[in-house]
Structure 1
Amino acid sequence: MSESANRGPSPLAGLKVLDLSKILAGPYATMSLGDLGADVTKIEHPEGGDPTRSWGPPFVGDDAAYYLAINRGKKSVTVDLKSDEGQALIHRMLAESDIVVENFKPGSGLQKIFDYRALSERHPHLIVLHISAFGDEGPLRDEPGYDILAQAAGGLMSLTGEPGGAPLKAGFAMGDLGAALFGIIGILAALYERTRTGRGQYVTTSLYECQLALHVNWATSYFATRERPVAMGSAHLNLVPYQAFPAVDGHFVVAVGNDAQWRDLCGAIGRDDLGEDPRFVQNRNRVDNRDALEKELTSVFAGDTVEHWCSLLNSNSVPVSPIRHLDEIYAHPHTAALGMVETVRHPSIGPLEQIPSPISFGGVRPTITSAPPELGADTDEVMARFTNQRKSL
């Protein structure tokens, strides 16, 4: 699919984004802006480009699947940001850009070169999103910025896993992706402010801060009790039963959100006595007696299959779901009905499957316009436009 293809809704059309970031948080944020119509140019080092290009296997063609997941809809320009020529080119590009996303390490040479105060004097319209690992202040400022470190330092790993078991990281990169999503919120707020003031803004966030922001009920429960929370497996801190249960052939999830649903569950499984038991009548009682209730339900659910329980509970208005694996998800008719897999043509790989934007406008989802770029694929075009050179700087 070409850039000129009908891409559906493009609410950010006309905005120009300069992506000076690498790895995951920044590139995911800029890709998301591109999905919404922004024109995104990714700046990469001439020697190897974004490190995720080599984060494999698996590889698809020359690039790792990891890189291909988070860089569609962008141009790739190779520039040495530490060279005088490279910096001169970037400033010419900044003059035409609306948004810059970078994840320079706090106090690094590149952060000093592209210091926002200096940038804003030359380009007062610019909105700069700076994503760091732990923020630009504090004793952890200089710690490395990997997702698993943010999950460890930010508490997610202490709350993930079975009770008494080894800590586990979340299956998704919630440190990086959380920062990307909060970063996008900051960018959109700054864009709105610019419509009133005409000036840009320096937006900052970090993997660590975003982990804390996502604690939500865990944090307020801790503030209320000052008791250290621990991992609870798939169980919920404040709702019972709200967890996975084993059946004969696998696991499924029950998510009882209120007492009416609890009574429906008891009736469906033929255990009205549980619904009348004073230990379990209300959610607050069930939370206090979760271990006893889990033992009762586990005994019941061990007697039949996942399909049986999901069908039975669903027909009785009890929220329930099997635990699906990715192969099942991408073969599921619901995924197809939502159009959550698109195929885009890559210049050397050929057809490449991608997960599109999860946002629709008026029932229409933005269409992916271009595949993740090969390293430096757009360097000559950009050089020809901004300078008289046609080689990577």
Structure 2
Amino acid sequence: MPERDEMTETMRMRPNPVRQLVYVVVTVASIAAGYFAYLYFVGPKAPPEKVETAEKTQPKPSPEPWYKKQTPPPTLITTPDLPIFPEPEEEKITPPERHKAYEEALPRDTYEAPTPPAPVAAAPTTPTAPAPRVKPDDTAALPTWQRYALPVPDTGTAPVIAVVIDDMGIDVKRSTRISNLGGPMTLSYLTYGKNLPKQTSQAATRGHELMLHVAMEPSSKAVDPGPNVLLTELDGNELRRRLDWGFGRFEGYTGINNHMGSKFTSDEAGMRVVMDEVRRRGLLFLDSRTTGGTVGPRLARAAGVPVAERNVFIDNDNKVASINKQLAEVEAVAQRQGYAVAIGHPREATIKALGPWLAEVQNRGFRLVPLTTIVKRLN
């Protein structure tokens, strides 16, 4: 039976799963027994002892509280604010500490020109032919200020008031509101105003007279008078160049008056140049009298320039009640000397006060006139 013997031999050579499982179990049990015997006789390995450094033994300093790191609060300001219109002695403060004001401090005085002396009788002369008279319709032969003068009805013996509004043309909205008020008024536009031909044309259409408001040097360097200002340090050529620029800004004005100018209008050399240019163009000069030391009226008369002077600033206090008080002063001056020249500005309180006053003042026996009407009386 050789076949059977071969089969028996083959089966004997194959792996026996049961036997293999027994081997595995015995092996695992032996390893486990050895591990537990080691733990029993030797014990677990102790962890290495931690060596504490000097750093760890010293406690960390606690952080500084947040409120101690804050800077101390600033001290309270106990001094009053700087005035908007500083005087020369206050100019020690450096420019970065404050902004320049756009307007010079307005005088609070009421100015009335002294009574002129009685005219001296002229020496008898040989009669000559009278000078030719200018016909009423021949306006081309008239000086510029008369050509552009606003015609008004005869005022008779009634006291007359000319209201001049300076600083026109910068704040277009308020300038327009001023020109929409009754009148007639004389509106003086700053040479550096916006779109002056359009603004001035509209004002003239609404029945107002026009003037040119020329920036002149104030006494305080803390005040900004604007571009192309006339300065005492400039020579005659530069003054004429700046004046020529201003004269070309729009048409139809009767003359000029000074914007600020408390320093410049006291300077004879500079004002002589101004009067020469005003005379050459046939214009008039209104002295706003921003200083009592002005030489403007005297030099104007010497140069043959028609001149008038401001009597009252109506809005040196920008409050309706204060402006109404100044308007009452204007009426009082007009009653005393027969005329008054009032100057105001396109400010909110001025507009509110002027509206009702313009509507009522003629009912009290006064006549509103353009400035040229008073200039004709005085010159």
TM-score, normalisation: structure 1: 0.24
TM-score, normalisation: structure 2: 0.25
The structure with the larger Rg is: 2
